[in-house]
């Protein structure tokens, strides 16, 4: 009874997110047809500026390291790799949602620092409601295709079992034990800094730049940091 009360007290979006993460975790850690891997779920890390980053899943296999962001959007999705926001169309209403690719890039930036840029880290966005077909981005995939995607992935990386264990242990050694309340407070602080012109990824200064498609906001530490943001109208 206590568990049910706890579940139904959660906001609906949080509950859907947790259910989605559970589905991905089950796909990555099946009861049968197991693979040689190490899996870390819900890893919270802190960068050099005191910002916390909560990573849904890190899957470490012989064929690579995969930073996986799980999303449980229900509607039709419209967007691309580079836009700040995607549009979710649900019951003929349109909602603006943050582009999860950019969110995952910040996670990968931090992981690269912790692993001293020794390995390629692959971004994967998993849509648990299998509604990725309109996005046409090869690493934004439906949940039902996750196992095949990881199995067939090939960028000529090969990690030995010792490397897999070392990567796994290094990341766990940097794990932060903080509450969701503290993490949310930290996110709000990061958003305030963004409005002040501070890069949320590396702490650099955000500058107005000219690009192929017009002006945009970019980090002063480019190319080491590739954070960009569209200019608000």
pLDDT tens digit at each of 233 positions of the chain: 444 444 444 455 677 878 999 999 999 988 777 889 999 999 999 888 778 889 999 999 999 999 999 999 999 999 999 888 999 999 999 999 999 999 999 999 999 999 999 999 999 999 999 999 999 999 999 999 999 999 999 999 999 999 999 999 999 999 988 656 666 666 667 677 777 788 877 888 888 888 776 788 888 888 878 888 777 65
Using DSSP, state whether 52 is helix, strand or coil.
strand
In terms of Cα–Cα distance, which of 144, 118, 146, 147 is closest to 129? 144
Question: Residue 43 forms beta bridges with which residues?
Answer: 55
- Give the list of residues 6+ apart from residue 19 with CB closer than 8 angstroms, or none: 72, 128
- Cβ neighbours, 10 Å, residue 136: 9
pLDDT at residue 3, as a whole number = 47
Dig out the tokens for 172 from the structure: 């766990």
2-178 sits in which CATH class?
alpha beta
Using DSSP, state whether 18 is helix, strand or coil.
helix
Cα–Cα distance measured from residue 52 to residue 159, given in angstroms and rounded to the nearest whole number: 28
Dig out the tokens for 88 from the structure: 């979710």
- Cβ neighbours, 10 Å, residue 51: 18
Question: Residue 94 forms beta bridges with which residues?
Answer: 89
Cα–Cα distance measured from residue 86 to residue 77, given in angstroms and rounded to the nearest whole number: 7
Residue corresponding to tokens 């963004």: 194
Cα–Cα distance measured from residue 51 to residue 202, given in angstroms and rounded to the nearest whole number: 10
pLDDT at residue 111, as a whole number = 97
Cα–Cα distance measured from residue 109 to residue 47, given in angstroms and rounded to the nearest whole number: 10
Identify the H or E element spanning 42: strand 37-46
Using DSSP, state whether 231 is helix, strand or coil.
coil
In terms of Cα–Cα distance, which of 1, 41, 43 is closest to 20? 41
Q: Is the peptide bond before 223 cis (omega within 30 degrees of 0)?
A: yes
Q: The pTM is what?
A: 0.78
Strands (E) in 47-148, as ranges, are: 52-61, 64-71, 76-78, 85-90, 93-98, 121-127, 140-142
Identify the H or E element spanning 112: helix 100-114
């Amino acid at each position: 009874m206590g568990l049910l009360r706890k579940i139904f007290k959660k906001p609906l979006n949080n509950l859907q997110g947790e259910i989605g993460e559970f589905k991905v975790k089950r796909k990555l850690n099946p009861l049968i047809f197991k693979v040689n891997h190490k899996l870390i779920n819900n890893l919270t890390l802190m960068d050099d500026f005191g910002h916390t980053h909560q990573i849904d899943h890190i899957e470490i296999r012989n064929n690579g390291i995969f930073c996986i962001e799980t999303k449980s959007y229900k509607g039709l999705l419209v967007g691309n790799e580079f836009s700040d926001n995607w549009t979710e169309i649900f019951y003929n209403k349109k909602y603006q949602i943050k582009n999860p690719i950019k969110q995952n890039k910040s996670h990968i930036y931090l992981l690269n620092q912790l692993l001293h840029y020794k390995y390629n880290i692959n971004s994967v966005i998993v849509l648990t409601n299998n509604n990725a077909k309109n996005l046409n981005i090869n690493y934004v995939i439906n949940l039902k295709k996750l196992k095949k995607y990881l199995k067939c992935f090939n960028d000529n990386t090969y990690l030995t079992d010792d490397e897999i264990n070392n990567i796994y242990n290094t990341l766990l050694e940097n794990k932060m034990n903080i509450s969701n309340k503290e993490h949310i407070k930290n996110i709000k602080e990061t958003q305030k800094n963004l409005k002040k012109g501070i890069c949320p990824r590396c702490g650099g200064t955000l500058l107005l730049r000219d690009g192929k498609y017009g002006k945009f906001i970019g980090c002063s530490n480019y190319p080491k940091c590739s954070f960009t943001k569209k200019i608000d109208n």
